[in-house]
């Protein structure tokens, strides 16, 4: 395994190149250019506001700025997660020529799919930052939690991405299953709502490994509180286990890729 990681390091220039290609192609193909990175998060934020407004009407409470900023802060990472999994799921199939004809570590494909989505996320984050400043969300020391939370998110995405990309190479219907999960995943993840709204039953929702990350981001950015450490530890260990497990799974199947695609 150490040797394999060493090899991956040797190929990091290739990883950058493929990521660069994915980003470039995506922005070249779309007429809107950089709007592409912002469009999906904006749509999610807007639907979140609609949902939140409905809650407010039903519970006869006013809709606060904090509710809206919290939806915005959680929508972006969710959009990143969805697009990472979606792109990495197809990353091997779409690069069939390279998989069957040239040798290099194939985990480069799912990882670069996640990296390209991360780039979109960073672009969208700039827009979000402006929005947050306009909404007068202050700064505080708790913002220092953000890198750890994002790293957990990226690791989780890479781990799941490696598993679904390899699985979809062998079974063509995996991509449909993944798509269904991504579409309905938003209902099982606290993006439009807060886990707190469920009271004690909220902990069941936090079992979804993405939930503690989103809740943590919302806590440290909007509410200026540190994230719930126990749940963060849970999400972090899930990220480590899934990325290591995903890597082992991927490497185990890799020799059969060229023959099975």
Partner 1 sequence: MSDVALRMEHVYKKFRKGEVYNSLRDFLPALTGKMFSQQELSERDKRDFWALQDISFEVKRGESFGIIGPNGAGKSTILKILSRIMKPTKGSMLVNGRLSALIEVSAGFHQDLTGRENIYLNGTILGMTRREIDSKIDQIIDFSGIEEFIDTPVKRYSSGMYARLGFSVAAHVNPDVLIVDEVLSVGDYVFQLKCLKRMKEVVSEGASVLFVSHNLKSVAEFCPRTLLLERGHKVAIGPTHEVISSYLSRSRNKHSSAADSREVAITNVAVRNHLGECSRFQSGEQAWIDIEVTAYKPCSKLSVSLYLTDEKFESILDTSSERLGHGSFSLEAGEVFNCTFELCLNLATGIFHVSSLVYRYDTQTTYDRWDPAATIYLSSDEGIRGIVNCFPTVTRHGTTAKSPVSLAVLNKET
Binding site for partner 1 (CB under 8 A): 13-14, 17-18, 21, 24-25, 28-29, 97-98, 100-104, 170-174, 177, 255, 258-260
Please report where in the chains the tokens 């409905």 appear, as a residue. 54
Pick the closer one to partner 1 by CB: 56 or 98. 98
Contacts of 18 (CB under 8 A, 6+ apart): 108, 109, 112
CB of 103 to partner 1, least distance (A): 4
Q: How many CA atoms lie within 13 A of 230 on its CB side?
A: 3
Q: Answer yes or no: are the C-beta atoms of 49 and 193 closer than 8 Å.
A: no
Separation of first and last alpha carbons in the chain: 25
Token pair, residue 70, equals 């919290």
3 state SS of 107? coil
- Closest approach of partner 1 to the CB of residue 252, in Å: 12
Nearer to partner 1, 8 or 63 (CB): 8
Residue 136: is it exposed, middle or buried by C-beta count within 10 angstroms (0-12/13-18/19+)?
A: exposed
Least distance from partner 1 to the Cβ atom of residue 244, Å = 23
DSSP character at residue 201:
G
Nearer to partner 1, 164 or 214 (CB): 164
Residues 6+ apart with CB under 8 A from 125: 76
Nearer to partner 1, 75 or 112 (CB): 112
Q: Which is nearer to partner 1, 29 or 59 (CB)?
A: 29
CB 20 → partner 1: shortest distance, Å? 8
**Closest distance of CB 21 from partner 1, Å:** 6
């Amino acid at each position: 395994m150490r040797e394999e990681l060493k090899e991956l390091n040797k190929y990091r220039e290739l990883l950058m190149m493929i990521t660069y290609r994915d980003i470039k192609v995506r922005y070249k193909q779309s007429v809107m250019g950089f709007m592409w990175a912002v469009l999906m998060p904006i749509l999610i934020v807007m639907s979140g506001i609609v949902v939140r407004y409905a809650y407010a009407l039903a519970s006869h409470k006013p809709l606060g700025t904090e509710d809206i900023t919290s939806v915005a802060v959680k929508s972006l990472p969710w959009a990143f997660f969805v697009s990472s999994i979606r792109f990495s799921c197809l990353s091997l199939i779409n690069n069939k020529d390279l998989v069957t004809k040239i040798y290099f570590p194939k985990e480069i494909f799912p990882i670069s799919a996640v990296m390209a989505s991360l780039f979109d996320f960073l672009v969208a984050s700039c827009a979000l930052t402006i929005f947050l400043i306009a909404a007068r969300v202050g700064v505080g020391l708790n913002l220092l939690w953000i890198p750890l939370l994002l790293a957990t998110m990226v690791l989780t995405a890479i781990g799941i991405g490696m598993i679904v990309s390899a699985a979809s190479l062998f079974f063509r219907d995996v991509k449909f299953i993944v798509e269904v999960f991504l579409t309905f995943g938003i209902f099982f993840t606290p993006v439009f709502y807060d886990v707190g709204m469920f009271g004690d039953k909220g902990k069941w929702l936090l079992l979804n490994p993405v939930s503690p990350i989103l809740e943590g981001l919302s806590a440290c950015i909007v509410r200026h509180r540190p994230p719930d450490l126990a749940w963060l530890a849970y999400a972090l260990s899930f990220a480590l286990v899934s990325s290591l497990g995903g890597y082992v799974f991927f490497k185990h199947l890799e020799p059969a890729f060229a023959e099975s695609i």
